[in-house]
Amino acid sequence: MTQHTNPDRPESPGPSHEAATFAAAGAAPAAWSAPGARRATGKDPWARFGWLMAVIWLVFLVYPVIALVHSEAAPAWVVVGWIALFVFVVLYITGFIHGMRGGGGLGRPPSRRQWTTFAALIGCALISVPAEGGSALSFLPFIMSFASYGLTRVWHWITTIGAVVVTVACVFLIPGGFTYLSVLAIVVLLGVVNTVSTWLIIRSAEAERLGLELATSEGREAVARDVHDLIGHSLTVVGLKAQLVRRLMDSDPERAKVELADIERLTAEAIAGVRSTVAGARATTLVEQLASSQDSFRAADIEVRVDGEPGALSPAQALTASWILREATTNTLRHSRARTVLVRLAPGRMIVEDDGVGISGSEGNGIHGMRERAAAAGAGFVIGPADASGGSGTRVEVTW
């Protein structure tokens, strides 16, 4: 929440001294327009007690009170002045609360109530002039700030320029107007402060919105990557098993039934995985993924050898390794035409190596996803030709 600094207050009342005080009076409404200040939740102290800030700043309306007490105007005008002052206070406090609760302003369309309150504040100030004289200028900072933080940018400028013009007219056109010269200086200063402050608040709100959009986009990419890794792997294995079942239907019906049961299990796991991924609650352990990869390779008649234990990696490393192993398994089954696969696990390292045809062409989504996962975990990722078989095959290495 944004607050303006209160200028030095005068030690004695008077036309020139009151300017220094009511400049601060107009600064308070800045707070209720700050992003986040308008959420009127029961547990938000600002939403519940922020209206007290409006009450505190209203102490600077003591100068119109003094002017009314010593006014030499007709009694009828004095009564009108008191009524206008009371209505102004009520409107200001209620407008303050309404602004905190989403009344508009600072880039958001003001509600009809905001416009009505603004017009009523100006009306109260105008009908106070006959009884208060120059002390009615004490209302200007409140009106300026209400327009700056509760209305549109255009009306900020209209009100600020209008307040300066009115004060200039009082200084140079009415008798003894030079006693209000300091009022002019404070009104100009408040206009500058409101201009800079509202610009910063609007920019901050825009940055917050862009940050939210970026976070949402990144979240969607993460979910898409998770679903790709999970579904791509599962469908590849299901496809291989379906081919195997078709070959075994006549020659080995019993084994075909076993493979069909595996297909049913893999399908159920994939569906459950997608659901939990969308909910953001899925986590696959390295032990589970290693067993799944071994089963998938065997179903494709690929010999698999594991060197090392999953416990060699920390829990955080194992989580990233399980995802990369899943994608490496999928790529090997789809593209490698390999006969053997080696999975090597060591402290801070995982290597997946096959003796297939190797990498050709540009990197696909799978490899891109593995790079992203490794980078997010602070790990190094290298993919290239395997060390064995004279450089044929593919080697995926992740190191921390």
- The burial of 235, by beta-carbon neighbours within 10 Å (0-12 exposed, 13-18 middle, 19 or more buried), is given as middle
Q: What is the pLDDT of residue 15?
A: 39
Q: Name the band, by pLDDT with cuts 50, 70 and 90, for residue 23.
A: very low
Question: What one-character-per-residue DSSP string does 166-198 give?
Answer: HHHHHHHHSTTGGGGHHHHHHHHHHHHHHHHHH
Residues 367-396: pLDDT tens digits? Answer: 888 888 888 888 899 988 876 545 578 899
CATH T-level assignment (fold) for domain 284-400: Heat Shock Protein 90 (3.30.565)
Instruction: Please provide the average confidence, as pLDDT, over all residues in the chain.
Output: 76
The per-residue pLDDT for 33 is 39
Q: What is the DSSP string of 22-59?
A: HHHHTTGGGGGGSTTTT---TT-HHHHHTHHHHHHHGG
pLDDT of residue 27: 38
Beta strands at 394-399 and 303-307: parallel, antiparallel or unpaired: unpaired
Answer yes or no: are the C-beta atoms of 370 and 327 closer than 8 Å: yes
pLDDT tens-digit series, residues 201-227:
778 777 766 766 665 565 566 666 666
pLDDT band with cut points at 50, 70 and 90 for residue 182: confident
172 has a pLDDT exceeding 70: yes
Stretch 298-323: mean pLDDT: 87
- Tell me the whole-structure pTM to 2 decimals: 0.46
- Work out the average pLDDT over 90-96: 85
For residue 227, what pLDDT is reported? 64
Rounded percentage of the chain residues whose pLDDT exceeds 90: 14
Residue with tokens 């140079």: 172
Taking the C-alpha atoms of residue 102 and residue 33, their distance in angstroms, rounded to an integer, is 9
CA 118 – CA 60 distance, rounded (Å): 19
Confidence (pLDDT) at 276: 55
Number of H helices, E strands in the chain: 13, 5
Give residue 19's pLDDT: 37
Whole-number pLDDT of residue 77: 92
Domain ranges of the chain: 15-212, 284-400
Report how far Cα 122 is from the mean position of its chain's Cα atoms. Answer: 37
- Report the pLDDT value the prediction gives residue 2, as an integer from 0 to 100: 37
Q: pLDDT tens, 67-84?
A: 898 888 899 999 999 999
CA separation for the pair 319, 297 (Å, rounded) = 21
pLDDT band at 32 (very low <50, low <70, confident <90, very high): very low
Q: What backbone phi and psi angles, to 5 degrees, belong to 323?
A: -70, -40
* pLDDT tens-digit series, residues 261-310: 888 777 877 776 666 555 444 446 788 888 888 888 888 888 999 999 98
